[in-house]
Structure 1
Amino acid sequence: MQTIRVRTTQNVFIDYPLASIGDRIVAYLIDRLILFLYILLVISLMVGMKAFENETLLITLGLIFIVFPMMFYGLLFEIFMNGQTPGKHAMKIQVIRLDGTPASVGGYLFRWLFSIVDFGIFGGVVAVVIIAVGGKGQRLGDIVAGTTVVKLAQQKEINSSDIFIVPESTYVPTFEQVVQLSTRDIEVIQRALDANRDHGTYQPIEIITEKIKSMLGIHSDLPPSEFLYTIVKDYNSLTAGR
């Protein structure tokens, strides 16, 4: 599977699997199908309301319930579904920034504006060619917005997000210095642990381990992954109830 290496704000490199062109095409077709079925439903309701007998009513309802949803479908879903549309959600793919963080509203807006070029006259051929040639999973709108589309990892029976569950009251933290870390630091650690678990990427957890040890003045012989899991559990335990 093709991947993209992104550099986080913590200067840590993490590999993300890129969404394949096939996944993106299927997601697009699912979204088109949903829109088609929605429009059929709206037209059926308009027929029942005899809207076609009143030109003013027809134009008003058509603009509000057909034209606007067709225009803003992708933009609004990506904004409110954190980089996904129903089609993308079904295919388990998501829009993110090139630094691995969620895209901004401005980024989604640029992607939407340039979709006219990507999916316009040639029906998506431009987008497919640019994605295939670019190597970063970016269509023109992504290049302008600084985004790409990645494949979300399959959830395993054990997920590193489980460590965010508040430990039992009897849990004794190992490294009390973790209170100096921020929530953002913990999110970066979790992302690196997920990358290690799902894709075998080992370098990020090694780099982060050394940075954490240096930052907090910790000396530990624990393996990197075990050390980072302990750090997050300790942080979660010590900051619970804040």
Structure 2
Amino acid sequence: MADVGIETTQNVRINFQLASVGERISASLLDFLFLFVMSIIIMLFAGILGESKVWGLLFMIPLLFYTLLFEVFMNGQTPGKKIMKIKVSMVDGSAPTFSNYLIRWMFRLIDISLTYGICGILCIVIGEKGQRLGDILAKTTVIKTKRKVSIQNTILVDIPENYELVFPESKNINERDLPLFKKVIAQIESLEDPVEKLQFGLRARKNVMEKLEIKTEMQPLQFFKTLLIDYNLIHRDK
């Protein structure tokens, strides 16, 4: 599948890989399996408690909202999506709200149930952002989640010998922004078009400079690498 651009809270555009049709189908099949097992367990309990029709109906209600409930409370993932390492995301990068999840869930009836998934698959394949009909209306898509990495890979970097602090303002960097800086560095290094590379780097540098109140003409790639080293230097002995 293609990539989709996600705007971070730093207003930096980072590309994420869209979940493939196969991954989404696999996640749905896994969820169906979980639903099947849950249904059997519920019916067994209903039979034990008596009045199986009443209890069966009462217990079956949560199953109807299975996808909606899990996506709302598991940050865009159902158990199937979690296993397949994919999740629901807004196409503009913001976190989906309950109404976004609700719209996706409501249109499962058309995308999946009534059309046996054909409508959803066609929309995903034909579209550019991996969206089924429910996604289009909810302005969401499904992306691959990044593998968890250790703090060593996201924060710590080597400090050159005899290195001197360049930006004292680095003390104001939020630790949560450091993985983002590394993503920006990787994004700059991966771009082949010099113009696109420069535009992306300057835009990212401008946003961070404004936030940290830094003034510099340093090249974007070196700027972000320097921020990481400065941060580590400042916090090395703490």
Q: Could you tell me which residue of structure 1 aligns to residue 126 of structure 2?
A: 133
Aligned length, in residue pairs? 218
Question: What is the correspondence of 1:1-242 to structure 2 with a 5 Å cutoff?
Answer: 1-8=1-8, 10-49=10-49, 51=50, 57-66=51-60, 68-156=61-149, 158-160=152-154, 162=155, 175-178=167-170, 190-191=179-180, 193-194=182-183, 197=186, 201=190, 203=197, 204=200, 207-213=203-209, 216-219=213-216, 223-230=222-229
Q: Is the 8 A contact 2:31 2:78 kept in 1?
A: yes
- Separation in structure 2 between the aligned mates of residue 107 and residue 200 of structure 1, nearest angstrom: 35
- Separation in structure 1 between the aligned mates of residue 46 and residue 123 of structure 2, nearest angstrom: 40
- Separation in structure 2 between the aligned mates of residue 20 and residue 173 of structure 1, nearest angstrom: 45
Amino acid at match of 1:213: M
- Separation in structure 2 between the aligned mates of residue 199 and residue 60 of structure 1, nearest angstrom: 60
Q: CA RMSD in A?
A: 3.2
Which shows bigger deviation, 36-45 or 207-216?
A: 207-216
> Which consecutive unaligned segments of at least 5 residues does structure 2 have?
157-163, 192-196
Q: Is the 8 A contact 1:142 1:148 kept in 2?
A: yes
SS of 2:113 mapped into structure 1: coil
- Separation in structure 1 between the aligned mates of residue 35 and residue 126 of structure 2, nearest angstrom: 30
Amino acid at match of 1:177: E
Deviation at 1:131, TM superposition (A): 0.5
Deviation at 1:127, TM superposition (A): 0.5
Q: Is the 8 A contact 1:175 1:234 kept in 2?
A: no
- Give the 3 Å change call, closer, same or farther, for CA 209–199 of structure 1 in structure 2: closer
CA deviation string 1:74-132 (max 9, x = no partner): 01100110000000000000111112232111111111111111112111111000011
CA deviation string 1:190-242 (max 9, x = no partner): 3463365489645455532243235523435772441343476589x5xx9xx
- Give the 3 Å change call, closer, same or farther, for CA 91–177 of structure 1 in structure 2: same
Q: Could you tell me which residue of structure 1 aligns to residue 194 of structure 2?
A: none
Q: Is the 8 A contact 2:4 2:17 kept in 1?
A: yes
Q: Is the 8 A contact 2:21 2:121 kept in 1?
A: yes
- Separation in structure 2 between the aligned mates of residue 16 and residue 155 of structure 1, nearest angstrom: 15
Deviation at 1:177, TM superposition (A): 2.7
- Separation in structure 1 between the aligned mates of residue 2 and residue 106 of structure 2, nearest angstrom: 27
